[in-house]
Amino acid sequence: MTLSTIKITDRDHQIAKLSAIAVALSLVEFFFPSPIPGVKPGIANIIILYTIFKFDMQMGVWVSLIRVFVTSIILGSFLSPTFFLSLSGAIFSLLSLMVFKNLKREYFSIISLSLIASLAHIFGQFIIVRIWIIPHNGIFYLLPIFIVSAFIFGLVTALITIKLLQLNPKK
């Protein structure tokens, strides 16, 4: 009898812990009704940003994607439109972070990156909605509401992440 063993590293433990927190935050958000339909603060993004800046980009990608998959499986929306919306948003914001993370840190803080990522998130979702779910230009009417909310929540997410990083400085 052979036992195949998988080596579980510290890094994997970290990813698992952070993903679990991110999933928990997503679930909390799901069960609290939002004041404007479809507008959510995206509090799980705090964990993603924190992961990227405390550890590295690759880990952030892991946590973000695990969050999307696990949350949708728990909520029973896996492979439904809601899942693809969430996945597309996550991919777009991760891509934007990869592009912009090399901005000079003495001029640009996490605030800029968070704002850019939240905007990318909205556009990622809108692209899916426009091509797949509601292929009609009428939906662009909703865009300003989402851009404003992206601005507010992007800013708040950044400030909380900065606070968290101050409390747990990079080793």
- List contacts with another protein (CB under 8 A): 33, 37-38, 81-82, 103-104, 106-109, 111-112, 115-116, 119, 133-144, 147-148, 151, 155, 159, 162
Residue 33 or 169 having the CB closest to another protein: 33
Residue 64 or 125 having the CB closest to another protein: 125
Report the distance separating Cα 73 and Cα 95, nearest Å. Answer: 24
Residue 18 or 150 having the CB closest to another protein: 150
Backbone angles phi, psi at 170, to 5 degrees: -65, 135
User: Which is nearest to 158 in space by CA: 116, 104, 107?
Assistant: 116
CB of 44 to another protein, least distance (A): 19
Give the number of other Cβ atoms within 10 Å of residue 33's Cβ.
6
Residue 19 or 72 having the CB closest to another protein: 72
Residue 34 or 58 having the CB closest to another protein: 34
CB of 110 to another protein, least distance (A): 9
CB of 108 to another protein, least distance (A): 4
Helical ranges in the chain per DSSP H: 10-31, 44-54, 57-75, 81-100, 110-128, 143-167
The helix/strand/coil state of 50 is helix
CB of 12 to another protein, least distance (A): 32
CB of 151 to another protein, least distance (A): 5
Report the distance separating Cα 168 and Cα 162, nearest Å. Answer: 10
- For residue 56, give both structure tokens: 């590295």
